[in-house]
Structures are given as C-alpha cells and as structure tokens.
A = this chain, B = another copy of it.
Amino acid sequence: MSKKLSLKIRRLGIDTYQETVVYMRRDCLVCQSEGFESQTRIRLTVHNTSIIATLNIVTSDILQIGEVGLSESAWELLNASEGDEAYFSHPRPLNSLSEVRRKIYGHQLEPKAIDDIIADVVERRYSDIHIAAFLAASAGGRLDRDEILALTSSMIKHGDRLHWDAPLIVDKHCVGGLPGNRTSLIVVPIVASFGLMIPKTSSRAITSPAGTADTMEVLAPVALTLDQMRHVVEKEGGCIAWGGSVSLSPADDQLIRVERALDLDSEGQLIASVLSKKIAAGSTHVLIDLPVGETAKVRSLEMARILEHYLIQIGAELGIHVHTLITDGSQPVGRGIGPALEAKDVIAVLQNNKEAPTDLRERALQLAAGIIEFSPTVERGKGFSIAKEILDSGKAWKKFQAICSAQGGMREIGSAPHQHVVSADKSGKVKAIDNRVIARIARTAGAPQAKTAGVYLSTVIGDHVKKNQPLFTIHAESEGEMEYALTLMCEEAPVIQIEDQ
C-alpha cells in the first residue's frame, strides 16, 4: 500500500483529550495516493508500532510539506521521536461495528461479539462516535445477564491483573451519585489496621464533582505504578490508588470517557465496570455500597435490588464473593462536596475531631464492619465494635498517615480564593437537598479539575434554620467559574427546600 511513501512525524501539541487525531496537508503525496479525506480513520505506523487515528486535513502552514502532525494522545501511544518516518494505510473495516449495529437493533450479543468490540475499543480502533453508539445501545437495561457477564470477562481479559500473596483480599466500592460520600479514605485504614489486605483502586469522577481518587489526590499521590502499589500494600496492608494508572480495565477507561460527555450511566456498563476492576485488582471479597435516593444514582429500591442481584450473581460466576449494603441516599454525606472540601471532612473523622460530620463517620464504620466480618475469625455482628475501637483509638489515623507517606508523602489541603455564602431566604425546617443540583453547582464551580472548588454545606435535612442563616458556601478557583456556578444556581429550582412552620 504505497509502502514507499512516508511523512516525518511532528508533535503538534494539540490535546484532543483521548481521541487519537493525525493532521495531514491536503497537498501531500500520501493524501493524494491513498485518497484520504477529513474524518477518514487511518492507520499510521512508526517503527513497529501502529495506531488508528481520525484524520484532520490541514490547509494552512502549521505543517510543512513532508510532515504529519500528531495529537498528544496519538503521540503518547506511538512512543517515537520527532522526525521519525511514519507510513500510512487504510485500516481494515471494523467488523465489530456490525455487532454494535446488531445491538442497536435490539439483538442479544454473543460473548465473542462483545469481546471483539472490547478488543477494538482497547486498541483505540473505535472513534468517539462509535463508542457513544455502543453505550447508548447498551444502556437502559438492554444488556442481559449473559451479556453483562461477557462484558465483565472481556474487560478483565484486556487489562492487567494483580495477584496478591494472601488468602483473603478485601475491597469496597460505592455505586456513586451521593456527593461527599468519601468513606473509602476512612474504611481502608481501619481495615488495614485490623490486618486484612485491602489494595483499593478508585476512579476519578465520571459525572460527579469528585471521585475517591480525586479526593485522595488532595492528600497524597494516587497515580501509582503497579510496582509502587504493590510496595505500599505489602508495607501497610492497604492503599488508595487511582485505578487508571495501573490499567486494570483500559476498556472501561475508554467507555467512561465518552459516558462522561454524555452524562450517562448505563447499568450493564456499571456492573461490568465495578466487577472487572475489583476482579482485576485481585480481590476475593468485595462489599458494595448502594445508596438509594430520589436524586442519587440509584433512585429506587427496585433498581438497587436489580443491581444487587447482578453484582452477586455475576461476581459468583467469576469467582468472587460480593456482599451488598443498600444505604440511605437522600442527601449528601459529610459537609464538603469537591476534592479538597471532602478531604477536610475525612481528616476530621480520622482525627476524631468534634466538628467531624457524624453521618460520614457512621457510614464508614458500617462499611468497615461489613468488611471486617469477611474475616473467618470474626463473628457476625461483631465487626462494628472492632471498627469503632480502631477509629476511636487513633490507630486508623496513624495508618492513614502511614499509607499517604508510603504513596509518596502526605500533602496539605489548600483552600479556594473565591468563596460565596448562600443564605436562607426564610426561616423554617430543611425539608430536602437536591443531590444532583448540588453536584452540578460544584462541577460548574470547577470541581474536580479545580481541587479546592466545590460546595460546603452548613446544614442537613431536619435542621431548623433562620432567615439569612448560611445554608452553604460555593468555593471556586477562578472568577469565571464562580460566576457560572451562581448563574446556574439562580436558574435551578431551590437547591435546599425550606418548609414553613
């Protein structure tokens, strides 16, 4: 395929997020001989590495004749040097796309078909358009049990898999949607203090103002390599690392990236995402927290039961023991929403500070109790008092500091330069807090990219407030983001409902 025609690669310094893009002059010989047009997917090979990328045709002089430009994501995948020779060809037709079309048309997919799709996603052969279509066709209950099982297996297969030298490897996960629910940072040190091995990997925020990895990153490095993570766990019995950097489920990372742009959570995708990461991380026993509330991710007990059923069943088929806990998801947990503000709450609980949010403390103890009871030496019902003793005695706080230090050193929590207090417009009782709107305000204020941005609540459901009493504070790192968060707030229904008395 015109093997003699090549172009010299040039890092154009354009960040297209993760989609791979190459830039080529319209008048170059490669375009002419291969018949490439804008939007074509092309295969580009440098030395022995090939990638598939979307082509953007360039008609200006940002490229010289004989050059091909690479986006940052394409540059990283190629791992080559400026000026190396690149060769081009048409990629083979993506046969797995016909399986995506079959799913769009409502057919059940065979495990082989799902694996072909996931293999192509991992190899970056899918454009964002292709991934979006697969996600939309799979959401809304359109993946059955066998398909979710196949999706989970396939995600595990196409990623790294960890092995630990212990008979019992425990883990926890929360099916998000509850702002501020940062229990992992408290549960991990309690459980590790007790003596169970808990190599926790967490995700960054998908559609929320902070993921566990975002919050932990305020306090310590989380982008650990596999070796670093192993070292931390061997030393301290637990870690809180970002899952993305150990590549446990690279397919899931690609899917989540597009889900984020769609603000979509698909339940089949969710189950496969959770289980694949836990299994790849080498867990044998996993506790999954399912908060249910009108404005949480899981809105009804019925949906929680469906998720519970699939998580336990599919987990068992793949050889892990899953225990679920359906919890109250009616309001945010703790006071802070956003990475740094949530980290403050966590530290207050670990330090047994009087002002620490009791709801966060209680939830963390309940979850730690469930995990401690995975231990064959602990009787059912005894977990809670064990967990409480570890927290109250300060052992958990010591363990947390040790973990941070093993991960690369504990950091100070910063605070945002722009703060705006929102007060009650009347006196009364706090009746409801809208999780989704609170989360959107925190996001538009800059969280999670801006670490110190977010919302800090001064009140909870059931509180009696007076007119002009502060309800919450918006934190932002830039003026523009603060202004945008305020505009959004004014356009929405009341974030906090106050009932006259």
Please report A residues at the B interface, Cβ cutoff 8 Å.
1-2, 11-17, 23, 26, 32-35, 37-39, 56-62, 71-72, 89-90, 93, 97, 100-101, 104-106, 127-137, 139-141, 258, 261-264, 266, 440, 444, 446, 449-450, 476-481, 483-484, 487-488
Contact between B59 and A62, CB atoms less than 8 A apart: no
Contact between B33 and A478, CB atoms less than 8 A apart: yes
Contact between A56 and B15, CB atoms less than 8 A apart: yes
Pull 14 A–B residue pairs with CB atoms less than 8 Å apart, ordered by A. A14-B58, A15-B26, A34-B480, A39-B261, A62-B62, A89-B480, A128-B128, A128-B129, A129-B131, A133-B133, A133-B135, A134-B136, A135-B136, A136-B137
Complex Cα–Cα for A133 and B135 (A)? 8
- CB A436 to nearest CB in B, in angstroms, measures 10
Contact between B105 and A478, CB atoms less than 8 A apart: no
- CB A192 to nearest CB in B, in angstroms, measures 34
* Contacts known (A15-B58, A59-B15); A1 close to B484, Cβ less than 8 A: yes
| Of B104, B134, B488, the contact of A93 (CB 8 Å cutoff) | B488
Contact between B264 and A101, CB atoms less than 8 A apart: yes
* Contacts known (A140-B104, A263-B97); A62 close to B480, Cβ less than 8 A: no
Chain B CB within 10 Å, residue with most, of A58, A262, A488: A262
* Contacts known (A104-B136, A133-B136, A484-B1); A262 close to B97, Cβ less than 8 A: yes
- CB A443 to nearest CB in B, in angstroms, measures 10
- CB A75 to nearest CB in B, in angstroms, measures 11
* Contacts known (A15-B57, A15-B58, A132-B132); A35 close to B481, Cβ less than 8 A: yes
Q: For residue A258, which residue of chain B has the nearest CB?
A: B129
* Contacts known (A12-B62, A14-B23, A15-B56); A33 close to B136, Cβ less than 8 A: no
Complex Cα–Cα for A484 and B93 (A)? 11
- CB A396 to nearest CB in B, in angstroms, measures 35
Contact between B140 and A105, CB atoms less than 8 A apart: yes
- CB A208 to nearest CB in B, in angstroms, measures 15
With a cutoff of 8 Å between Cβ atoms, the chain B residues found around residue A135 in the complex are 133, 136
| Of B13, B17, B38, B137, the contact of A16 (CB 8 Å cutoff) | B38
| Of B105, B129, B141, the contact of A106 (CB 8 Å cutoff) | B141
Contact between B56 and A38, CB atoms less than 8 A apart: no
* Contacts known (A56-B15, A484-B90); A264 close to B128, Cβ less than 8 A: no
Complex Cα–Cα for A256 and B23 (A)? 24
Q: For residue A69, which residue of chain B has the nearest CB?
A: B62
With a cutoff of 8 Å between Cβ atoms, the chain B residues found around residue A14 in the complex are 23, 56-60, 62
Chain B CB within 10 Å, residue with most, of A13, A60, A133, A263: A133
Complex Cα–Cα for A11 and B60 (A)? 9
Contact between B261 and A129, CB atoms less than 8 A apart: yes
- CB A381 to nearest CB in B, in angstroms, measures 39
Contact between A62 and B136, CB atoms less than 8 A apart: no
Identify the 5 closest CB pairs spanning chains A and B, nearest first. Answer: A13-B60, A136-B136, A132-B132, A34-B480, A133-B136
With a cutoff of 8 Å between Cβ atoms, the chain B residues found around residue A101 in the complex are 262-264
* Contacts known (A93-B440, A140-B105, A480-B2); A38 close to B12, Cβ less than 8 A: no
With a cutoff of 8 Å between Cβ atoms, the chain B residues found around residue A34 in the complex are 478, 480-481, 484
- CB A264 to nearest CB in B, in angstroms, measures 6
* Contacts known (A1-B480, A101-B264, A263-B97); A58 close to B17, Cβ less than 8 A: no
| Of B37, B61, B127, B444, the contact of A261 (CB 8 Å cutoff) | B127
Complex Cα–Cα for A128 and B38 (A)? 15
Contact between B12 and A60, CB atoms less than 8 A apart: yes
* Contacts known (A264-B104, A488-B93); A35 close to B480, Cβ less than 8 A: yes
Q: For residue A30, which residue of chain B has the nearest CB?
A: B480
With a cutoff of 8 Å between Cβ atoms, the chain B residues found around residue A450 in the complex are 35
- CB A136 to nearest CB in B, in angstroms, measures 4
Contact between B62 and A13, CB atoms less than 8 A apart: yes
- CB A314 to nearest CB in B, in angstroms, measures 21
Contact between B35 and A449, CB atoms less than 8 A apart: yes
| Of B33, B132, B141, the contact of A129 (CB 8 Å cutoff) | B132
With a cutoff of 8 Å between Cβ atoms, the chain B residues found around residue A261 in the complex are 39, 127, 129-130
With a cutoff of 8 Å between Cβ atoms, the chain B residues found around residue A134 in the complex are 136
Complex Cα–Cα for A292 and B264 (A)? 37
| Of B2, B35, B132, B141, the contact of A133 (CB 8 Å cutoff) | B132
- CB A447 to nearest CB in B, in angstroms, measures 10
Complex Cα–Cα for A71 and B59 (A)? 10
Complex Cα–Cα for A58 and B14 (A)? 5
